Amino acid sequence: MTIKVGDKLPDVKLVKATEAGPEAVQSADYFAGKKVAIFSVPGAFTPTCSARHLPGYVDKAGELKAKGVDEIVATAVNDPFVMGAWNKAAGSDDITMLADGNGDFAEAMGLTMDGSAFGLGKRGQRWSAIVEDGVVKELNVEAPGDFSVSSAEHLLGQL
């Protein structure tokens, strides 16, 4: 079942990419007590994700935080080393990378996609959300191949 507005985020293990290396976090604990702008991409270093999705959040980070967002989180079905490298290459200190290496978060959210035809295997869909104290307040899921409602600009307009 796909998560919806008003639902609590599923409680699964994610791995935060940090300067000191991977740090396991439990999603229920991680999202508790704060307002988070979160976006999911099918994969780090993939064309739309690198050319448009992540850069939009880097560019709009200050505006999102000025509207009350405590943290901006990117997630993908990638390992924490790839997520950390992607943040170093194209991100910023304003973006927290949470790796969903096994796809458990995407699966529990009901937001997976099958990229096998492109050699990608099972991945997370492209989406964005505003989460307050672990509860989904806004959710924007893209149609396959689209990039509009999960953008930083769209999410900013929802705050």
Q: Does residue 91 form part of some domain?
A: yes
Confidence of residue 144 (pLDDT cuts 50, 70, 90): confident
Q: Does residue 40 form part of some domain?
A: yes
Q: State the alpha helices, DSSP H only, in the chain.
A: 27-30, 47-48, 54-66, 80-90, 104-109, 152-157
Q: Is 92 a catalytic residue?
A: no
User: Which of 67-76, 125-134, 142-151 is predicted least confidently?
Assistant: 142-151
Q: Does residue 132 form part of some domain?
A: yes
Q: Which of 49, 98, 111, 130 is catalytic?
A: 49
Q: Does residue 19 form part of some domain?
A: yes
Per the structure, the complete domain to which residue 147 belongs is given by 13-157
Inform me whether the pLDDT recorded for 122 exceeds 80.
yes
Q: What is the pLDDT of residues 40-77, one digit of tens each?
A: 999 888 767 676 789 999 999 999 999 999 999 999 99
Number of domains in the chain: 1
Confidence at residue 49, expressed as pLDDT on a 0 to 100 scale: 65
Q: Does residue 146 form part of some domain?
A: yes
pTM for this model (two decimals): 0.93
Write the DSSP symbol of residue 78: S
Confidence at residue 113, expressed as pLDDT on a 0 to 100 scale: 82
Q: Does residue 6 form part of some domain?
A: no
The CA distance from 95 to 41, in Å, is 14
Q: Does residue 50 form part of some domain?
A: yes
**For residue 88, what is the domain's CATH number?**
3.40.30.10
Confidence at residue 129, expressed as pLDDT on a 0 to 100 scale: 98
Q: Does residue 5 form part of some domain?
A: no
